[in-house]
Structure 1
Amino acid sequence: MTVSHHLERFHELPIHDFAPDAAPDAASTEAPAARPRPAADTVAWRLSVDWDTKQDFDHVWRSFLRSVDPAEVRALVIGPWWDHRGYVSVRATMETITAAADRLPALEALFLGDVTFDECEISWMEMDDVTPLLTALPQLTSLAVRGGMDLALQPVRHERLRALRFESGGLPATVVRAVSGSELPALERLELWLGVDEYGGDTTLDDLAPFLDGSRLPKLRHLGLQNSEFQDEIAAALAHAPVVARLESLGLSMGVLSDEGATALLEGQPLTHLRALDLHHHYLTEEMQQRLRQALPGVELDLSEAEDAGEDDEDRYVAVAE
């Protein structure tokens, strides 16, 4: 599996692709014609660079601020930010957004990197330290970041953030440690796509321990530790982790979960209180899938994308790597 589709919804809002005004002809004094657009607070605005127009992100952003009332914008989705001249660092794009922070008082949700594999492979997207997004936007309740190369985060305190997601084919352990070292008293949803070592995913089970005891994130209700090569070990650790008792949903999808990990889950603490358990993209046998269905009759159980378990562990792969 690769990331092959753009988001259709974000922050419980439909995505609307922002179409920037064409750059005025230098020889013309006429302003470009206005285009009908939805009310600023009714959609999640997707901003991206159309390489065919030879515009850059600065032009897209300036056009956005002119065309939409930024004070009413609730959600932003950033697609490809590089232009026809080639790939550029995301730092300048983040600086452009944070420089306008005072004009975005209603902004609650930001998705950085809504990019599909045909635009750039997830592990080839050059990221940067995303801490400034949190420090400059204290009103954010949701932050999602896609991409892993050079991704960084510093431990931070953020009072309002309720959802945090890192999508990566190889999530650096330094980012995981920074999340666990942060003070996020309002956080309810945490999703980490851990990925593989080949693309920088060097997180270990020890790095995940602070999330398992539940003490750092008092309001956590959903935990997703996904897309991992050591999914069985994560499942075994969660089988006795204190945090599970207060979760409403749990995500162990996209990795190489086998019967070994599923057995540990079933033999551990009760999971019947969960509303949902996401195990999609797995290596469970039909017998184990049936055991799970029988043991968790009231749980919304996602067992889709069953892969061939085979006999060789080396033939098993995570859903998103390169």
Structure 2
Amino acid sequence: MSARSEQPTDGPLPRDSRMDSATEAFVAHRNLLFTVAYEMLGSAADAEDVLQEAWLRWAGVDLGAVLDRRAYLIRITARQALKRLRTLGRRKESYVGPWLPEPLLTSPDVAEDVELADSVSMAMLLVLETLQPTERAVFVLREVFDLDYDEIAEAVDKTPAAVRQIAHRARAHVAARRPRGTASPAETRAALEAFQRAVETGDLQSLLDILAPDVVALSDGGGIRHALLRPVVGVGPVARLLAVGWWKRDAERSLQPVQINGGPGLLVRVDGEIDGVLAVRVENGYITGAYHVRNPEKLSRVERETAVSR
């Protein structure tokens, strides 16, 4: 990976000054770098590990030879994330039941940035899971973070011409699978409120009214907690599942509206303890996707907000 001169220098900076400058740059871009790694991996824990690896490499860089610190940091983060992504693919092959991304509690301003919210949404991350690792890296770096083809080529060890072809193929793949409907903030709030009431009361008719005909429900227990072993599709099966399947238990439960991955969701507590997160996708006023994460290893980021940025 090359570094280019930002401006002439009289020689290397003293070590303390160089480390202060490196730390300042890394901290300034940390939320961005976390978002890059998270969108490539779908795992906050793995994204944090990638940031540690990226920092170790960044700390040894000659800063005086770096033209664009943001782009350079994104490249080294993406390179480390791509290595980890290939390893994760093998790990997911033995995962018990459906694999869902690690949910993030996000601030309301993330939802206001439509492009950012879409890029970190559970629905989009599931679409990205269907890409090959290099395709996913290229798509994220180009379509979400707007790196040029030369910079992406350095990150993924391909020629710029090859990256253009990969980007074209990845865009077509994602376009054929990404959700197409939209919802205004008011529609989203109304749908979530109606959905919450219906789930809390087990009102089958209300669920039938708020769910889209082709709604899909997925749940992830990771083999640790009870969860669906395959997707449930269609308004009738999903409504019955929500009315009597997930929620009927001899315990005190509560549902709290929250922002999950830039979209609407419910934080589920049983006997006061977090039991899971139910993120939903709202399109044209209806719930089209329900993503229930119960794997306790994936719930560490739902009690405090995680900052994401572009």
- Name the TM-score, length of structure 2 as normaliser: 0.26
Higher relative contact order (CA 8 A, sep 6+): 2
